[in-house]
């Protein structure tokens, strides 16, 4: 293998730049030519591909976002789109790929490698931490700390006004951010897609808490079955039917996707990037380079995509016990 390429796809995550840097520099260290593909699969289709040098990735390890940009490609879902992408890779002589992203990115990578036999290794880049085959995903720790800082601030004003706040954090299918910032931020309740919490349960808990506390924080993962924080707040208000209670909503949104990556995300991104390139050189393909118990582990894309990564049961118990 002489030429490889790296791209980022799907939602960006802090630490992706550290990962790109590691792929480029590990490749060059091992005498490979390394290319960067802009805008994920869209850039692959359009031939938006450029050669990378050691200096192309200078001064980015500490930056959020992704210098290679990101996109969600509709065209790549079609056979014609993938054919165009493959033609571009062939034109540039690219013999191996590193795909940085989440399960959508890996689904695309898996199809590409199966249809055209091009070796691909993934690096887990998403703030959601919902990828099987790695203890943590690149970007999760930074997003968690961003959410936590925001919760601390909301708590000050919630306490000052004796208010009940519903704080919405990201996590379309996953409650990792919600649960962990709920524990760290001392939330009274956490609502996540993985476990059902009915409006009746929320009302019961809030009424109970009111006996000992004047303010409460409910953290809601955006993918909760009962809806987003605003919707849940309206349902609770209706059910609780008490005009003396003061409810507010704060939606943290994309603030969680940006910012300088934490040390953990920089190290994780760098480690996975190096492991992906070395995996390609060893002939591995169709798998993700993740870190499990402080060791590099290569997990088949199929497992990364289809297997669940359940929330820690003890974490849910912690919230219940600590919120009394
Ligand atoms: O990166 C994952 C994620 O943050 C989800 O939690 C969220 O639902 C989604 O991305 C939103 O992404 P976008 O704004 O790019 O559509």
The first and second tokens of residue 318, run together, are: 């912690």
Residues 169 and 189 grouped into a single domain: yes
Q: What is the mean pLDDT of residues 131-140?
A: 98
Residues 269 and 193 grouped into a single domain: no
Residue 43: Cβ within 10 Å count? 25
Asked whether the predicted pLDDT for residue 81 surpasses 90, the reply is yes
Residues 203 and 110 grouped into a single domain: no
Residue 317 lies in a domain: no
Alpha-carbon distance of 280 to 276, in angstroms, equals: 6
The CATH number for 207's domain is 3.40.50.460
**Quick check: CB of 172 below 6 Å from ligand 1?**
yes
Contact (CB, 8 A) for 94 and 5: yes
pLDDT of residue 171: 96
Residues 302 and 184 grouped into a single domain: no
Q: What is the mean pLDDT of residues 176-183?
A: 98
Residue 193 lies in a domain: yes
Residues 7 and 134 grouped into a single domain: yes
Q: Residue 215 belongs to what H/E stretch?
A: none
Residue 172 lies in a domain: yes
pLDDT of residue 324: 87
Mean pLDDT value across the chain: 97
Residues 103 and 8 grouped into a single domain: yes
Residues 44 and 76 grouped into a single domain: yes
Tell me whether 0.85 is exceeded by the ipTM: yes
Residue 92 lies in a domain: yes
Question: Over pLDDT 70: what percentage of the chain?
Answer: 100
Q: Residue 122 belongs to what H/E stretch?
A: strand 120-124
CA of 323 to the centre of ligand 1 (A): 29
What ligand 1 atom has the least distance to the C-alpha of 72?
Answer: 15
Q: What is the CA radius of gyration of the chain?
A: 22
**Quick check: CB of 128 below 6 Å from ligand 1?**
yes
Residues 14 and 127 grouped into a single domain: yes
Q: Identify the band that residue 98 occupies on the pLDDT scale cut at 50, 70 and 90.
A: very high
User: Is residue 102 marked as binding?
Assistant: yes
Residues 16 and 74 grouped into a single domain: yes
CA of 254 to the centre of ligand 1 (A): 8
First to last CA, the chain: 59
CA of 33 to the centre of ligand 1 (A): 32
282-291 tens-digit pLDDT: 999 999 999 9
pTM of the predicted model as reported, rounded to 2 decimal places = 0.97
Asked whether the predicted pLDDT for residue 261 surpasses 90, the reply is yes
Residue 222 lies in a domain: yes
pLDDT of residue 243: 87
Residue 20 lies in a domain: yes
Q: Hunting for tokens 């959020």 — which residue is that?
A: 64
What ligand 1 atom has the least distance to the C-alpha of 11?
Answer: 1
Residues 155 and 124 grouped into a single domain: no
**Quick check: CB of 170 below 6 Å from ligand 1?**
yes
**Quick check: CB of 127 below 6 Å from ligand 1?**
yes
pLDDT of residue 293: 98
The CATH number for 266's domain is 3.40.50.450
SS3 2: coil
Residues 195 and 286 grouped into a single domain: no
Q: How many residues does the chain have?
A: 324
Asked whether the predicted pLDDT for residue 179 surpasses 90, the reply is yes
pLDDT of residue 21: 98
**Quick check: CB of 11 below 6 Å from ligand 1?**
yes
User: Is residue 11 marked as binding?
Assistant: yes
SS3 244: coil
Contact (CB, 8 A) for 14 and 71: no
**Quick check: CB of 103 below 6 Å from ligand 1?**
no
Count of structural domains within the chain: 2
Phi/psi at 204 (nearest 5 deg)?
Answer: -60, -45
Active site residue 141: no
Beta strands at 3-8 and 33-37: parallel, antiparallel or unpaired: parallel
What ligand 1 atom has the least distance to the C-alpha of 12?
Answer: 1
23-48 tens-digit pLDDT: 999 999 999 999 999 999 999 999 99
Q: Which of 128, 130, 141, 265 is catalytic?
A: 128
CA of 66 to the centre of ligand 1 (A): 15
Question: Over pLDDT 90: what percentage of the chain?
Answer: 97
Phi/psi at 298 (nearest 5 deg)?
Answer: -100, 120
Indicate the burial class of 80 (C-beta count within 10 angstroms; 0-12, 13-18, 19 or more).
Answer: exposed
CA of 245 to the centre of ligand 1 (A): 32
Residues 21 and 56 grouped into a single domain: yes
Please give the residue range of the domain that contains residue 213. 141-257
The dihedral formed by the CA atoms of 185, 187, 192 and 198, expressed in degrees to the nearest 10: -170
Residue 319 lies in a domain: no
Asked whether the predicted pLDDT for residue 242 surpasses 90, the reply is no
Asked whether the predicted pLDDT for residue 67 surpasses 90, the reply is yes
**Quick check: CB of 221 below 6 Å from ligand 1?**
no
304-324 tens-digit pLDDT: 999 999 999 899 899 989 988
Residue 65: DSSP 8-state: S
């Amino acid at each position: 293998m002489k030429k490889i390429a790296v791209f980022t796809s799907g939602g960006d995550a802090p630490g992706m730049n550290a990962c790109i840097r590691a792929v480029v520099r590990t490749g060059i260290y091992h005498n490979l030519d390394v290319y960067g593909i802009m805008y994920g699969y869209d850039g692959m289709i359009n031939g938006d591909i450029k050669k990378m040098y050691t200096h192309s990735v200078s001064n980015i390890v500490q930056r959020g976002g992704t210098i290679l940009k990101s996109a969600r490609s509709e065209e790549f879902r079609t056979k014609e789109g993938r054919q165009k992408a493959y033609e571009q890779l062939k034109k540039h002589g690219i013999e191996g790929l590193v795909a940085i992203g989440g399960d959508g990115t890996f689904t695309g990578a898996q199809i590409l490698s199966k249809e055209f036999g091009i070796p691909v290794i993934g690096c887990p880049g998403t703030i959601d931490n919902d990828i099987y085959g790695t203890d943590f995903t690149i970007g999760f720790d930074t997003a968690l700390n961003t959410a936590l800082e925001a919760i601390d601030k909301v708590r000050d004003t919630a306490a000052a006004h004796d208010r009940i706040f519903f704080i919405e954090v990201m996590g379309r299918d996953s409650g990792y951010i919600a649960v962990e910032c709920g524990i760290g931020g001392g939330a009274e309740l956490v609502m996540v897609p993985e476990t059902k919490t009915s409006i009746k349960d929320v009302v019961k808990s809030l009424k109970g808490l009111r006996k000992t506390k004047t303010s409460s924080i409910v953290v809601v993962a955006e993918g909760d079955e009962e809806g987003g924080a605003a919707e849940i707040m309206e349902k609770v208000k209706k059910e609780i039917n008490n005009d003396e209670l003061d409810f507010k909503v704060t939606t943290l949104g994309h603030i969680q996707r940006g910012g300088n990556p934490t040390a953990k995300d920089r190290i994780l991104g760098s480690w996975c990037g190096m492991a992906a390139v070395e995996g390609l050189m060893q002939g591995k393909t169709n798998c993700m380079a993740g870190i499990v118990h402080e060791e590099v582990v290569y997990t088949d894309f199929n497992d990364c995509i289809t297997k669940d990564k359940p929330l820690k049961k003890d974490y849910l118990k912690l919230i219940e016990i600590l919120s009394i």
